[in-house]
Structure 1
Amino acid sequence: MSDSFGFHTTAEEASAALSVHIEGKIVLITGCTWGGLGAETARVIAKNGAKRIILAGRSKNSLNETIEKIKEETSSANLVSLIMNLADLKSVRQAAAEVNAYDEPINVLINNAAVMASPYFITDDGFEGQIGTNHLGPFLFTNLILPRMLTTKEPRIVNVSSSVHHFAPIFFTDPQFSNGENYNEWLAYGQSKTANILFAKELSNRYNKEGLLSYSLHPGSVSTNLQRYIDREKNMSKPMLDYEGNNILTEYWVKKFAFRKTLGEGASTTIVAAFDPFIKSQSGLFLHNAQIDSDAVKSYALDNANAKKLWVLSEELVGEKFDSV
Structure 2
Amino acid sequence: MAKSYDTNTTSDELIKDFGNEIKGKIILVTGVTPGGLGAVYAEFVSKGQPALIILASRNLENLEKVVEKINATSPGVKTRLLQLDLGSFVRVREAADAVNSWDDVPKIDVVVNNAGLMATDYFLTTDGFESQFGTNHLGHFLFTNLIMKKILASKAPRIVNITSDGHRLNPIRWDDYNFDDGKTYSKWHAYGQSKTANMLMAVSLAEKLGKRGLLAFSVHPGTVEGTSLGAYCNWEVDYPALMAADKALGNPQGWATSFTFKSQQRGVASHIFASFAPNLKEHNGKYILDSRIGDPWKDTIKPWATSSLEAERLWKLSEKLVDQEFSY
Q: TM-score range by the shorter chain?
A: over 0.9
Residue 260 of structure 2 is matched in structure 1 by 259
For the residue of structure 1 that corresponds to 2:279, the secondary structure is helix
| Separation in 2, partners of 1:173, 1:258 | 33
1:306 to 304, 307, 310: 310
1:247 Cα deviation (Å)? 6.3
Are positions 1:95 and 2:95 aligned together?
Answer: yes
Structure 1 residues 203, 10: CA separation in 2 closer, same or farther (over 3 Å shift)? Answer: same
- 8 Å Cα contact 2:108/2:153 also seen in 1: no
Residue 279 of structure 1 is matched in structure 2 by 280
Residue 112 of structure 2 is matched in structure 1 by 110
Any stretches of 5+ residues in structure 1 without a counterpart? none
1:111 Cα deviation (Å)? 0.1
Q: Tell me the alpha carbon deviations over residues 67-91 of structure 1, each in whole angstroms, 9 at most, x when there is no partner.
A: 1122111121211110010001111
For the residue of structure 2 that corresponds to 1:82, the secondary structure is strand
| Separation in 1, partners of 2:200, 2:97 | 25
Q: Tell me the alpha carbon deviations over residues 215-234 of structure 1, each in whole angstroms, 9 at most, x when there is no partner.
A: 00100001311110123455
Structure 1 residues 123, 238: CA separation in 2 closer, same or farther (over 3 Å shift)? Answer: closer
Are positions 1:49 and 2:52 aligned together?
Answer: no
1:246 Cα deviation (Å)? 4.2
Residue 228 of structure 2 is matched in structure 1 by 225
Query: Cα RMSD (Å) of the superposition?
Result: 1.8
| Separation in 1, partners of 2:130, 2:187 | 10
Letter in 2 for 1:57: S
Aligned residues: 322
Residue 149 of structure 2 is matched in structure 1 by 147
Residue 78 of structure 1 is matched in structure 2 by 78
Q: Which moved more, 1:227-236 or 1:37-46?
A: 227-236
Residue 135 of structure 1 is matched in structure 2 by 137
Structure 1 residues 239, 176: CA separation in 2 closer, same or farther (over 3 Å shift)? Answer: closer
| Separation in 2, partners of 1:146, 1:315 | 15
Q: Tell me the alpha carbon deviations over residues 158-216 of structure 1, each in whole angstroms, 9 at most, x when there is no partner.
A: 00000100000001011111111111100000000000000000000100000000000
Structure 1 residues 304, 229: CA separation in 2 closer, same or farther (over 3 Å shift)? Answer: same
- 8 Å Cα contact 1:242/1:248 also seen in 2: no
TM-score, normalized by length of structure 1? 0.94
Structure 1 residues 235, 244: CA separation in 2 closer, same or farther (over 3 Å shift)? Answer: closer
For the residue of structure 2 that corresponds to 1:4, the secondary structure is coil
Any stretches of 5+ residues in structure 2 without a counterpart? none
| Separation in 2, partners of 1:40, 1:143 | 25
Q: Tell me the alpha carbon deviations over residues 19-70 of structure 1, each in whole angstroms, 9 at most, x when there is no partner.
A: 1100110000001111111111101111111110000000011111111122
Residue 187 of structure 1 is matched in structure 2 by 189
Letter in 2 for 1:241: A
Are positions 1:250 and 2:253 aligned together?
Answer: yes
- 8 Å Cα contact 1:166/1:242 also seen in 2: no
- 8 Å Cα contact 1:115/1:226 also seen in 2: yes
TM-score, normalized by length of structure 2? 0.94
For the residue of structure 2 that corresponds to 1:240, the secondary structure is helix
Letter in 1 for 2:125: T
Structure 1 residues 238, 85: CA separation in 2 closer, same or farther (over 3 Å shift)? Answer: closer
1:254 Cα deviation (Å)? 5.8
